[in-house]
Structure 1
Amino acid sequence: MKGEPVIIEGVEKSFAETPVVRDVSITVKAGEFLSLLGPSGSGKTTLLMMIAGFETPNRGRISVGGRNITFEAPNKRDVGMVFQRYALFPHMTVAQNIAFPLRMRRVGRAQTRERVSAILNMVKLESFADRLPQQLSGGQQQRVAVARALVAEPPVLLMDEPLSALDKKLRESLQLEIKRIQKRLGVTVVYVTHDQEEALTMSDRVAVMADGQLMQVGAPVELYHRPANVFVAGFIGKMNFLHGEYLGQEGDEAIIRLSETAVMKCPLSTYPIVAGQSVTIAIRPEDLRVTASAVSKPQGLRGRIEAALFVGAAYAVLVAIDGRPGEVLEARVPVSGGSSPFTPGDQVDIFAEPQTLRLFIDQRRQAA
């Protein structure tokens, strides 16, 4: 099996004159695992359905391996599909479900048995071949669905939130299993999910969507550390946001006023910016440093501890910022000695190294 590239060019889709997918262009490389990530209503599933052939774009072109499939019937596209609800035939055994695509292609019995046996071994269900779907757990049913989609050796596999109905531990296990199988076979995968942890774990690249548009496409580490806009920054992982005013430039750093007594330095925005503009600073919780307040002027912001919550390898420390009513920042403080170094009411200073911050022009606040 060898994956083929999927090329989406200027694709648009509307329902009852309501745009759902807006001028989306993206190339999925051969053998790549790409996730379409976004909240409900972002257009990600509609885009996947257009690749599968269950929806037709109003505009644009879709090709697989250089072949234009924009208007081809789903069964002519040579792509595999795994649905959210498994879609297994309840009256067929596991082996019969998996063999079904081969029967439709009139593959010989001997070759069908051989390929079904091989794929059952790959998904670790050899001993379940004669069971019916209702005799399987949710995770086992999903493995059967993946096996059925792969047995015909399609160059492209489409997956529509296939793990969303499973519990967290099983979901995490199957994430690794699906990734292992994909790497072994070299198939190209386009995977729809609203779970950002799932997308970051499984994907070579992630395409973040909102309101029918592509917000950013990149490797998980790029999206996490270099988000292109406030939406991506807030959707990928935990993020703190601080609104302020751009005062000017000092070397290659921007000076941002956060209150009458506090300023922060951060890397300059890639967009043109002038003094007086409203801006947003994005800070990851793990990049914030919290120290007991000194008598002297704080290094960053000053505040009081609201809570220190144990979350495993760290404490999630919530700090109410002085002079900014209702504004609370979350920092991650490593566990040391088994107890939190802070208690509610403690006065603290909170700051971050400039290179860990991201600066965005706050368009909405500016327009207001």
Structure 2
Amino acid sequence: MRIPRPLTVDTLIALAMTAAALRLGQVSVAQGWPELDASAYVLLALAHLPVALRRRSPLVVFAVVQVASVAYISLGYWPVASALGSMLVLYTVASVHPARIAVGCAAVMTAKWLYTGVISDNLSMGLIVTQALLYCSVLVWSGTLARRSHALGRQLRAEQAERARREVAAERGRIARELHDVVAHHMSVISVQAGLARFVLDSDAPTARDALTTIEDTSTEALEELRRMLKVLREHDLGGAESAAPMPTLARLDDLVQRVRAGGVPVELYIQGTARPLPPGVELCAYRVVQEALTNVLKHTRQAPAQVQLRYTQHKLIVSITNGGDGNIPAIAVSAGGHGLIGMRERAKLYGGTISVGPRAEGGFAVRLILPTSATARWRDERTR
């Protein structure tokens, strides 16, 4: 449905008010006032037709309407017929201008009403004063409320736009971290295996062949994960017609560890407690943290052994990644300025968990992630902090 433009609406209002004023003027004789002539009809029209422009120039329209109304009253005609336009324009002034301007216009209109009582013998001055103060106060108060409501609406829309902008920025950051986790890990494995294949290509063909196989498998998995992320990004545009494949879970940690081993890092995976399905977000968070930690091992301390330990408790999942390394080169610290450490901490915070990253006293580094495995556990942790 097409919404009429404000100027169209105001024009119709102005015409309706003019017609009503002319109709009132025709019954002025019955009210004991002089019959209208051509001058009176023109002045009534001037007191109401400018209302069509009240949103564009409210103060100018207010002045024109008041002058026409005063001229009409000065000729001794029934003042009620000229009052409609003045009241609507006063409300408009109060709805768009500060209170001091609205009060000033109300004072002008009150003075006009008092002038009516002074020059007329048919009206009670007490009634005139009461009506002037009552109507002007109500109109200014109503217009001020409308102005504040409009300002509040603009503020809310601005806040919603800012909130949407922050959400978009946060989502872009999340996507950037996902891409970092996917690409950094797989490209590290590919780089190591490519170097190994080139080094042993002439002297050890089986090892070179295994390295190339690992490169093929790793690149295929990287493409699958990137394709999966693109499906997630397009899912809204497709209207849900194409569902995205599930993101990596803890069940795929064996494959991750195998790839890192193929890169030359001795890695062992240990599981304590009874493994069980966890919420998808929790599993993805734990998987990405392990992936990021092992990627840094692969990049910086490939010669040192690493251990990955998952411990399932009743309400928590505890993930530990340790690396012997060189006490002077903790692997995670090397990449702390990039997306890796920031991404791990934000993931943990998102799911109500905690993470600690740093060097060990005996050398190397350690990453320890603790995630609640249920909403109840998360609520309990937040209350105890």
Q: Same fold (TM over 0.5)?
A: no
User: Comparing both chains, which one has the higher relative contact order based on Cα–Cα distances under 8 Å and sequence gaps of 6 or more?
Assistant: 1
Q: Who wins on radius of gyration, i.e. which is larger?
A: 2
| Coarse TM-score class (shorter-chain normalised) | under 0.3
TM-score of the pair, normalised by structure 2: 0.22
Name the structure with the higher strand share.
1
Name the structure with the higher helix share.
2
TM-score of the pair, normalised by structure 1: 0.23
